[in-house]
């Protein structure tokens, strides 16, 4: 008899007043008992709509059935067949627009908490299982993966499971891409990212850090000199945008990428960190995506008394996940909607002293269907602040495009591929933000998965 | 991990290290830089490639001990390892096609100017080198510069070696003597590059400077190293580090360089205490 409760089992979280002062994980995860209870809410419907909502097609009802029985390791094995990073996805996927949006229980009540269950299973495995995964029989073919973010890691994991000899090349000193430098510790503990990468290494994936492809080696050299039969480019979209307004060069003006890299990758939030970060009193974050929420919540945790998110559209248009906005509000982040900066004012000692903004109103819908914000004449006002973080989005770094012969890209820098991830170059595939521009972790993983299948087919058709 | 094959003190505060880094050595060109992390807890700092040997697979770096990280780096001995060493990064200096060039180096900046002068010399250009130091005991790479220069001017602030005065004095003298330079390449403290640029602007001589702003990743993903060149925002790590000296906003660069002064002072004290050294 299924558990007919209309609501998801709550997941305990740290109190907002406490957590806004530390970098420990906010959501604490299910216990074995609550996981079993939640799993019993699944109706095991025949057509499994939830699976269709998952970009990597996890066999959701099957793993949930195992959780309901208390067979957690078996549940992990089912997830692991299709997903390489379950502990990550269970935490950062927007399940409300993916698997859980399709759940039948959601029609009359809340959907099954698929994400929380996935997270529970992965954490349980990582804490309890010492079994090494079965390593596939080597098939003698070499594939290179450029970038160790979600797209690259997924592609590498899937190919390794098929017996390929896979090497991942990472530019930074730690693997993980945005999982390591971007998403903060309190949403995604770095020990969990590291554990997922170790799981991939146990499958035989090699990870070479400090390798900037496009500088140290080119894609062409990987193919021609180093014998990689195919290359997957998962180099992301890491190039930050600025507004080009006066005052952007002041000392305490950061791109969100810089601020988050200092805090997360370099651990500048620790008192004993050797990488500095400014600890400001009043911080303005410009933008409304998940990156803006992450930056604002980090600034608060670094001790800022006041953190304001400045966004040019209204609350309804915020691109960030509802849960992140909710968490930010609970932690005391202030939101100023329909507000756009025009100038950063110099304060003491070359630092920012304030930000001049204008009020906006929503006009006619633009080409994308969203109502375009229009400046309200004469509405200028100033927000006092001593630090500004620009979270306006990112575009693909041109390094790979500029150093790879015959690789077609869009005007804005995205690599052009077909639906299987094949680029204009034979044997060169791409996926994730490098192709789509800044999107989500799970879409990048889906692209990595699709490309792995295409690479497998390509190499097998050649031999 | 990257092994230190050779370590040599060039003067009391400047050290040379030859590092085993075959991938970097294979591609490195004058003007490019590397980013290193001394150990697992370390920060990432940029250092210019001072020399390289493609066959041996080695890269030479020359650094001045100015703070916590360079102090810790200087504590490493031959045979020990640098945790991370990534490069080559940045755009190489464009020296092809130049016939007659004045290379101006200031202090530890001479370590960056030297490979450029060497390459120019190898390409057959007439090289006039002007090197400046605060005093005699800080002089580095003198023999190396002499070997690749058609004309060499040694300047010290206090006159303890070479001629007393600034590099700009020597440069003006050479220009006034009728030397027609295709280009002046100036590498050293920002204030020196600023004054070299102001001088050459009067004579209308194209001038290239090598910028050294704060960096983290060095691959173009954060914009920490941004500067204004001809009114436009540029990232020194990918667009530079070389820029047109007449177009750079030097005052902005000097301001931004002081962002973490207090933190850096504390780090330096920590490192000095750790190694039981006098804090300077």
pLDDT per position as a tens digit, A163-185:
999 999 999 999 999 999 999 99
CA nearest to B137, candidates B279, B14, B272, B7: B14
Q: Is B64 annotated as a binding residue?
A: yes
User: Is B110 annotated among the ligand-binding residues?
Assistant: no
Instruction: Name which of B44, B73, B222 to mutate to probe chain A: the one with the most chain A Cβ atoms within 10 A of its Cβ.
Output: B222
In A186-281, the DSSP E strands lie at: 206-208, 230-233, 239-240, 253-255
Q: Name the phi and psi angles at B258, rounded to 5.
A: -95, 10
Count of Cβ atoms closer than 10 Å to residue B160 Cβ = 14
Residue A19: partners with Cβ closer than 8 Å, 6 or more residues away:
A13, A26, A186, A331
Q: ipTM of this predicted complex?
A: 0.94
Contact A215 B88 (CB under 8 A): yes
Q: Is A452 helix (H, G, I), strand (E, B) or coil?
A: helix
B132-153: pLDDT as tens digits? 999 999 999 999 999 999 999 9
CB pairs under 8 A between A and B: 101
Chain B: nearest CA to A273, how far in angstroms? 7
Sequence-ordered list of residues with C-beta below 8 angstroms from that of A18, at least 6 positions apart, any chain: none
Which residue, B109, B152, B155, B153, is CA-closest to B136?
B155
Peptide bond into B241 cis (omega under 30): yes
Q: How far apart are CA B246 and CA B208, in angstroms?
A: 8
pLDDT tens for A236-263 read: 999 999 999 999 999 999 999 999 999 9
The string of pLDDT tens digits covering residues A278-334 is 999 999 999 999 999 999 999 999 999 999 999 999 999 999 988 899 999 999 999
B222/A257 Cβ within 8 A: yes
Residue A383 has pLDDT above 90, yes or no: yes
Q: Measured between beta carbons, which residues in chain B are less than 8 angstroms from residue A251?
A: 255-256, 258-259
Average pLDDT over residues A366-381: 88
Burial of A86 (0-12, 13-18, 19+ CB in 10 A): buried
CA distance B221 to chain A (A): 5
For chain B, the average pLDDT equals 94
* Predicted confidence pLDDT, tens digits, chain B (280 residues): 999 999 999 998 999 999 999 999 999 999 999 999 999 999 999 999 999 999 999 999 999 999 999 999 999 999 999 999 999 999 999 999 999 999 999 999 999 999 999 999 999 999 999 999 999 999 999 999 999 999 999 999 999 999 999 999 999 999 999 999 999 999 999 999 999 999 999 999 999 999 999 999 999 999 999 999 999 999 999 999 999 999 999 999 999 999 998 888 888 888 888 887 776 6
Which chain B residues have a beta carbon less than 8 Å from that of A215? 27, 87-89, 219
Q: Cβ A252–B259 below 8 Å, yes or no?
A: yes
A404 token code pair: 């790879």
- Chain A CB contacts of B255 below 8 Å: 251, 350
d(CA B260, CA B229): 23
Test A258 with B69 for CB contact under 8 angstroms: no
DSSP assignment of A371-425 equals: EEEEEPTT--EEEE-SEEEE---EE--THHHHHSTT--B-TTSPBP--TT-B-SS
% helix, strand, coil for chain A, step of 5: 35, 20, 45
Q: Which residues of A touch B68 (CB under 8 A)?
A: 274
**Look-up: residue for tokens 């180096």?**
B105
For residue A219, how many other CB atoms are within 10 A of its CB? 23
Cβ distance B101 to B151 under 8 Å? no
What's the pTM value of the predicted model, to 2 decimals? 0.94
């Amino acid at each position: 008899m299924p558990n007919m409760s209309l609501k998801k089992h709550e997941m305990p979280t740290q109190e907002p007043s406490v957590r806004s002062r530390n970098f420990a994980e906010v959501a604490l995860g299910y216990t074995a008992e609550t996981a079993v209870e939640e799993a019993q809410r699944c109706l095991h419907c025949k057509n499994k709509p939830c699976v269709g909502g998952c970009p990597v097609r996890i066999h959701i009802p099957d793993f949930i059935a195992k959780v309901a029985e208390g067979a957690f390791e078996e549940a992990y094995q089912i997830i692991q067949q299709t997903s390489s990073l379950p502990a990550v996805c269970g935490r950062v996927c927007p399940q409300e627009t993916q698997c859980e949006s399709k759940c039948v229980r959601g029609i009359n009540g809340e959907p099954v908490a698929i994400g929380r269950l996935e997270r529970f299973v992965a954490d349980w495995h990582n804490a309890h299982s010492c079994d090494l995964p079965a390593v596939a029989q080597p098939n003698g073919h070499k594939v290179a993966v450029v970038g160790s973010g979600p797209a690259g890691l997924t592609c590498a994991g899937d190919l390794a499971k098929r017996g390929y000899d896979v090497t991942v090349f990472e530019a930074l000193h730690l693997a993980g891409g945005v999982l390591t430098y971007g998403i903060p510790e309190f949403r995604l503990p770095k020990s969990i990212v590291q554990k997922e990468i170790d799981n991939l290494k146990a499958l035989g994936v090699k990870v070479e850090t400090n390798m900037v492809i496009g500088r140290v080696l080119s894609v062409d050299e990987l193919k021609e000199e180093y014998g990689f039969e195919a290359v997957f480019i998962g180099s992301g979209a890491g190039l930050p945008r600025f507004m080009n307004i006066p005052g952007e060069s002041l000392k305490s003006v950061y791109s969100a990428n810089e601020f988050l890299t200092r805090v997360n990758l370099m651990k500048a939030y620790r008192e004993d960190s050797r990488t500095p970060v400014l600890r400001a009193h009043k911080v303005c974050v410009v933008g409304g995506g998940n990156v803006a929420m992450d930056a604002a919540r980090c600034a608060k945790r670094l001790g800022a008394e006041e953190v304001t998110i400045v966004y040019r559209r209204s609350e309804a248009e915020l691109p960030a996940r509802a849960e992140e906005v909710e968490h930010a509000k609970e932690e005391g982040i202030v939101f100023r909607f329909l507000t756009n900066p025009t100038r950063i004012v110099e304060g003491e000692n070359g630092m920012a002293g304030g930000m001049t903004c204008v009020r906006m109103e929503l006009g006619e819908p633009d080409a994308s269907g969203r109502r375009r914000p229009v400046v309200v004449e004469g509405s200028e006002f100033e927000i006092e602040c001593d630090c500004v973080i620009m979270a306006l989005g990112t575009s693909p770094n041109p390094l790979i495009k500029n150093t790879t012969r015959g690789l077609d890209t869009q005007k804005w820098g995205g690599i052009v591929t077909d639906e299987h991830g094949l680029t204009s170059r034979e044997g060169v595939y791409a996926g994730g933000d490098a192709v789509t521009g800044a999107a989500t972790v799970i879409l990048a993983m889906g692209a990595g998965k699709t490309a792995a299948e295409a690479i497998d087919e390509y190499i097998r058709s050649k031999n | 991990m990257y092994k230190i094959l050779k370590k040599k003190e060039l003067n009391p505060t400047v050290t040379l290290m030859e590092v085993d880094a075959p991938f970097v050595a294979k591609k490195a060109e004058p003007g490019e830089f590397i980013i290193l992390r001394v150990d697992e807890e370390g920060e990432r700092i940029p250092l210019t490639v001072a020399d390289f040997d493609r066959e041996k697979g080695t890269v030479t770096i020359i650094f001045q001990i100015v703070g916590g990280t360079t102090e810790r780096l200087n504590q490493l001995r031959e045979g020990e390892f640098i945790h991370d060493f990534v490069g080559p990064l940045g755009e190489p200096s464009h020296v092809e096609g130049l016939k007659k060039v004045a290379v101006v180096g200031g202090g530890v900046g001479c370590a960056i100017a030297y490979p450029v002068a060497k390459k120019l010399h190898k390409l057959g250009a007439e090289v006039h080198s002007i090197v400046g130091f605060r005093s005699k005991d800080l002089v580095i790479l003198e023999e190396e510069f002499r070997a690749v220069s058609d004309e060499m001017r040694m300047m010290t602030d206090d006159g303890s070696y070479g001629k007393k005065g600034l590099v700009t004095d020597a440069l003006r003298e050479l220009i006034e003597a009728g030397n027609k330079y295709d280009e002046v390449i100036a590498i050293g403290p920002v204030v020196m590059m600023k004054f070299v640029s102001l001088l050459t602007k009067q004579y209308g001589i194209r001038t290239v400077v090598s910028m050294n702003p704060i960096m983290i990743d060095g691959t173009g993903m954060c914009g920490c190293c941004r500067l204004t060149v001809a009114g436009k925002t540029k990232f020194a790590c990918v667009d530079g580090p070389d820029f047109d000296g007449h177009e750079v906003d030097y005052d902005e660069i000097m301001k931004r360089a002081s962002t973490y002064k207090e933190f850096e002072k504390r780090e330096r004290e920590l490192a000095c205490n750790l190694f039981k050294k006098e804090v300077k």
